[in-house]
A = this chain, B = another copy of it.
Amino acid sequence: MTILKEIERVVGEKGLIIGEDVLNRKAGIWIDEGIYADAIVRPKDTNELSQILSICNKFDQEVIPHGGLTGLAEGAITRKGQIAISSERMTLIEEVDEVGRTISVQAGVPLEKVQEEAEKYNLMLPVDLGARGSCTIGGNISTNAGGNMVIKYGMMRDSVLGLEAVLADGQIVSSMNQMLKNNSGYDLKQLFIGTEGTLGFITRAVLRLREKPSSINTALVGLNSFEHVIKFLKHMDKGLGGNLSAYEVMWKNFYEVVTASKSNHTPPLPLSSSYYVIVETMGADQEKDSVLFEKLLETALESNIIQDAVVPHSESERAKLWSIRDDVEQHYQSGPVKMFDVSMPVSYMERYVEEVNKNFAANWNEYKCVVFGHVGDGNLHIIGGVGSDDKKATKLMETCIYDPLKSIKGAISAEHGIGLEKKDYLEISRSEIEINLMRTLKKALDPNSILNPGKVFD
């Protein structure tokens, strides 16, 4: 194959994986299948990548960008005839500006490595998610990753100051801005954030670091109505003056399963509440912040906004509380399930969950519909299970969950992206004109449609 020869001339033997070695690699950390692709190309820097894309563009060769393969929306799935380009050899941490509080990295650096590097300077990258050890900065940016601190620090987009990406034709767009403020022309990096590798291949980034908070306060709280969940959110956010960093809600059926006897968790609060919230703050003065935090919990108790609260008294107790929220796997024990990621204005949430339950009940006598999520950000996760994971059942479940979003202008993806998985439903959240404008951008930047084609939209 001429094209692979040309590519090998650029990246050398080390940079090219072909044959069985391709299929022997897993298509994703949650996927059992191997990678279907004609080759995996592993450039070591931007220049090599630029040459590769230029060759692929000449040959109309479809390419799929690969980061840590931890995505949840089939955004990096390849098939025969396509070439995967992996950032796995682009793992350089180039610079930390301690004064300007920025870090410049190549796209293949795992999130956790950046977190650790920032830590050395007593700084913090305020983006964190479960796959931190495997996911890459390039992947985090191209999917605009969310996570647990969005309410205080925003999504990945908000931590990107500068970006470098290679266009389909090999042109290097280097916008490695280090400033918080730069209104010198169009903010081109926005083209590559959250567009899932369809408009360019991200090669480097400048990320904003923050001062590391020196105080953390956490509580698990029980509430008896969703109205109180909303009231308590406002009560805490108002009272904390910007320090609220997590507001994670578990519906009763989530809490019940995770704290059941067969799990490893002892329920820190009894099962008498309808909702359970992990609320957490980050600040600068442990003593004063704790006093304020506990005062706010007390007033919430006194005014019956919350029923009960437990405050951990050590880091290990805190970890135990969080492990309840994080132990999503408990819901995977009995039969096949599928996890959903939607968002909507908070005021619609209760009604939405009721409607989803109604839809499930209309289709199945027995079903699982477990709800939890980053309610402070309007983001719900739903674990749906109907006893089968065949295509028909999955499709029907998707309809039950996505359809009610239409009338309330909700989003079929809050933080996971669209990929292949959700593209059939994109029109629930976006108008035809919007999707056409996406196509216009795609056509302008990648006229031969070689970059991750068929992802997000057709």
Contacts and interface: CB of A to CB of B under 8 A. Distances in A.
A426 interface: yes
Contacts of A193: 187
A241 B241 contact: no
Interface string A399-418: 00000000001111111111
A64 interface: no
A172 B345 CA distance: 23
Contact of A238 (B187, B211, B437): B211
A185 B241 contact: no
Contact of A176 (B99, B182, B409, B444): B409
A269 B240 CA distance: 33
| Copies of this chain per assembly | 2
A113 interface: no
Interface string A219-255: 0000000000010001001111111000000000000
A242 B213 CA distance: 8
A100 interface: yes
Nearest to A165: B437
Contact of A456 (B186, B190, B415): B186
B284 A240 contact: yes
Interface stretch (A27-35, A85-93, A151-159, A259-267): A151-159
Which of A194, A418, A426 is most buried by chain B, counting CB atoms within 10 A of its CB? Answer: A194
A15 to B, nearest CB: 24
Nearest to A233: B99
A242 B282 contact: yes
Interface stretch (A3-11, A300-308, A315-323, A372-380): A372-380
Given A441-B444, A444-B443, A414 B185 contact: no
B433 A171 contact: yes
B346 A416 contact: no
Given A177-B409, A193-B187, A343-B181, A440 B445 contact: yes
Given A185-B438, A213-B241, 6 more contacts: A177-B409, A182-B411, A182-B414, A183-B417, A184-B412, A441-B441
Q: Name the 9 nearest CB pairs between A and B, nearest first.
A: A241-B284, A190-B190, A444-B444, A241-B283, A184-B429, A181-B414, A182-B411, A100-B345, A179-B378
14 contacts: A100-B347, A100-B378, A175-B434, A179-B344, A179-B411, A181-B378, A181-B411, A185-B435, A210-B242, A211-B242, A238-B284, A241-B243, A241-B289, A284-B292
